[in-house]
Chain A
Amino acid sequence: MQKIFNLACGSFYALGAYVGVSAVAAFTAAGGPPWLFVVPLAVAGLCVGVVGVVVERGLLRFVYGRDETFQLLLTFALVLMLEDVIRIVWGTSPRSTAGLYLAYGQVRLLGATVPVYNLIVIAASLAIALAIGWLLTRTAFGRIMRATADNREMAEALGVDMGRVYVRVFTLGTALGTLGGALVIPATAAMSEMGIELIVEAFAVVVIGGLGSMRGAFVGALVVGILRAVAISVLPEIEMLLIYLIVIGVLVLRPHGLFGAVPA
């Protein structure tokens, strides 16, 4: 949207995951009932999104006028910093929310056993996707956002305050990243490397779907998720290789992704 390729989005995801773990731990220690643990998790995830404001105001806004490669490098600087911040605060050993993953029990669905928590996350991500779609297409803010992405100068000339739009968009993106990190954590464990590993996958998702296309990102995520699951069971050796080859194929054949608009 913002025409920023944010290498640090994986790091925000990791940050959300760690804060989520800590929040749940504090919640359980304070005697909160286990069946409510998803509430502090989601709240923590959203709250960490505030770092988006700091990053945007403190760093990114200085380089909007310059070549995009400088923005890329700035987000790489963030990757380095956040990785160590996580190490300083939470240490190097993986953290997890022990035992809460199955707090909601399991159900049998189409012959497979599925933890209820997975269904909650799926429902939540669908709801978020719909909310974002509504925000982008049905609200004034969404229209301004799309106009800015299309033609920054024109939007500015029409009286849109770029600084405010950028800080909101960036914070929204960050909050979604941290929320995603927090929501995934009961199913796995938080590791300091998860950020730099995720970024390549997230990048695959976005490229396959098309940059700047929300529908595309959703489809891209489905494609990557399903392909990985299939490849793991069929040909485990080429699992990630397959994803990258598809990314390259998409970039070469359809550089704007499956759903991206081709700029004139």
Chain B
Amino acid sequence: MSGPEVGLALSVLAACAVEAVEALTIVLAVGATRSWRSALTGVGAALLVLAVITAALGPAVTALPLGVLRVVVGGLLLIFGLQWLRKAILRASGLKALHDELAAFESEQAAARGAGGLGGLAGGLDAYSFTVAFKGVLLEGLEVVFIVLTFGANQHNVPLAAAAAAVAVVGVALAGLVAHAPLSRVPENTLKFGVGVMLTSFGIFWGAEGAGAHWPGGDAALLAIVPATLACALGMVRVLRRARVGAARRDAVGA
């Protein structure tokens, strides 16, 4: 496997694992609190819609000229990456609360308990469980589909991207099945930091190439862009941490 292919597989794997963990938390919360049958039917319906979207968009995306694909996808990945990275930097520097899957699970359960009686759909399905599981899996799944199609099409290797996504989703689903609890031990915040770095790096690389720029060293430039992006993000975390500690000290002295 070449360097860019390893980067592709790892990026898709990490990004899809994060999305799958979040979807799993939602499904577990409504399933355990209200109705497993309705929640799992919602999951099945969402997977069906995702399959239709993938079948419709897949050929269209891969048929685009590479230059157009790279500038559009590079731009979108960079926009997504900057958002992921901003939140990850704020979390790592202590300026934003860390994402806590257990807290998300409890909050989802509280909402499910307060949502009124069971039922509402044909076949005795619980409308609330079905809808929440459907929406959760569809929204997180759309991001998985986007990542697989864009990364895969850009590298001319959709099967590798799809395989990495499948490993992530099946792995998370199996872990959830065994644990029967939200996967709070998954280092989600670290993963999100890493995914933010990868999305931003690939966005910079493909965006510039799609716009007509030529990277010194060709594809090997990624080997410099990824560490440079990581170093830059870690540098921002360090500066923000220092500023936060300095502000806390000044407050303590002033009090």
The reply to whether chain A is a binding partner of chain B is no
